[in-house]
Structure 1
């Protein structure tokens, strides 16, 4: 298949996945953490009622094999309180070593305002009593609300530099797929990762499932240069092109998305990615002027902590808004 035809086919796949219309993908990052406690059922419900296309979230697996939603490999002491209501003082409580019951003892309904996290999101509404949800609970919430058009962008939280902190890629992928399949959500899910090993496994185990290749590349930190995160694919072997490295990793798999840090994206790179049949959804954009600029460039969606801000920009640009659920 030519690159032009591949791009056209991928556009049809994306349009079909987004309820039959070529929709701009408004992704609520961690459920909209600028507004509500991140990765909680309360945040996901409020995002759905506001009106978003996709709930973006992060997956971990407990010691007893349950897929739960939390951004960090260990409980994040900036947002996690113990049974007595005290913020954690340690950051070594790995989810992989905790049972679901142990994870559920903690409250994630507010952040510690004295931390950098708290200062970054001063307007986040506290909703005490929120527990770290399971992925199954998120799916059940969406079904209970009748939000049949909501999609899910689920990040696998593995770090190839610290393999002992999580399940290995294959059992991690197996646990995730088991929940997705059991709830019949395969057509509504995309799985994203900086660790491309998990995405390559998904191409084999669930052909056609949308995958998002996450990247960031800065002088002080990069996930694309030495092959650690990219399953051995070296950008230098692909003419220095991240989109070409992604296409090499994904092969002929359909439904491939480039989840690029927005500061690394240029109009030329967007054009190159499109020519390779990639959908492009940058992260994480909270400034409305930058949102507008990226929409003008023609990106396929935006991941944001503030879905309300993006809805306002989309309105200004004349883009159709995803309907909220009452």
Structure 2
């Protein structure tokens, strides 16, 4: 698939409109015409790859199987890495809505497995005759959580994700992103030694500068993906000089979307892909 000039990525599908990281959100994003579906993955007790931003059941929008709301006090104890997918799937993640996203529809849904999500999206694209999309898959990993809410080993985490993806889509349509540079370094090494198929690697950063991030990472990634408020025209130009695309997160206001385009970014990640697509498509 030929990448368009300015890439619109639907954050967690389209969190502003549908329950995040759910089949409903990805279906809506496809219907809107997004080019890239952004999502997050964690690992379950039974070594399955589940689509979830947190490695636990989030109290903000989740409901117990008995219909009671998950509380803030108990959410961290509902650790996905200590739960089977069968247990996780019984928690609803859409009926309560999300108070930070008033446009989000309140619908019964749950956390899907990555293989279910990929199978659904690829089938839906074929059924509807839609353009093929890219998948920007964030590996939710933190050093302090190794062996606690995720596998002890980065290698195990990466292999589980890789083996799932390769069954459904070619890696030319895959972006792997992470704030954990250990993940990106490992993935880069596996590509270099031809153990993994080539894909796009994206370095997620919050407030770190370009040079410190690259020094820490140890190689030049395909994409530099910072918090949008940290970007300037000069920083974007510096990234381009180094051969990196710039895709900031998470840009939700139309004025900020226009500002990102004006300083030369290559696209953006947004909870409201409908707003971005109205500007440029």
TM-score (norm 1): 0.78
Structure 1: any 5+ residue segments left out of the alignment? 1-18, 113-117, 218-223, 225-240, 315-320, 322-326
Note the C-alpha offset of 1:173: 0.5
1:43-75 per-position Cα deviation (integer Å, ceiling 9, x unaligned): 100110111011111000101110010110111
Partner of 1:308: 274
User: Is 1:81 the counterpart of 2:63 in the alignment?
Assistant: yes
User: Is 1:183 the counterpart of 2:149 in the alignment?
Assistant: no
Structure 2: any 5+ residue segments left out of the alignment? 193-197
In 2, are the aligned partners of 1:139 and 1:183 still within 8 Å (CA)? yes
Partner of 2:2: 20
User: Structure 1 CA distance, aligned partners of 2:139 and 2:237?
Assistant: 28
Note the C-alpha offset of 1:244: 6.1
In 2, are the aligned partners of 1:28 and 1:307 still within 8 Å (CA)? yes
Identify if the C-alpha distance between structure 1 residues 30 and 270 changes in structure 2 by more than 3 Å, giving closer, same or farther: same
Partner of 1:209: 199
Partner of 2:159: 174
RMSD after superposition: 1.7
User: Is 1:151 the counterpart of 2:131 in the alignment?
Assistant: no
TM-score (norm 2): 0.90
Note the C-alpha offset of 1:185: 3.2
**Runs of 4+ displaced beyond 3 Å:** none
User: Structure 1 CA distance, aligned partners of 2:228 and 2:21?
Assistant: 22
1:18-48 per-position Cα deviation (integer Å, ceiling 9, x unaligned): x124432100001111100000001100110
Aligned length: 267
1:218-237 per-position Cα deviation (integer Å, ceiling 9, x unaligned): xxxxxx4xxxxxxxxxxxxx
User: Structure 2 CA distance, aligned partners of 1:185 and 1:70?
Assistant: 22
In 2, are the aligned partners of 1:30 and 1:56 still within 8 Å (CA)? yes
Partner of 1:68: 50
1:185-228 per-position Cα deviation (integer Å, ceiling 9, x unaligned): 311110111001101111122353111101111xxxxxx4xxxx
Partner of 2:18: 36
User: Structure 1 CA distance, aligned partners of 2:133 and 2:33?
Assistant: 9
In 1, are the aligned partners of 2:22 and 2:112 still within 8 Å (CA)? yes
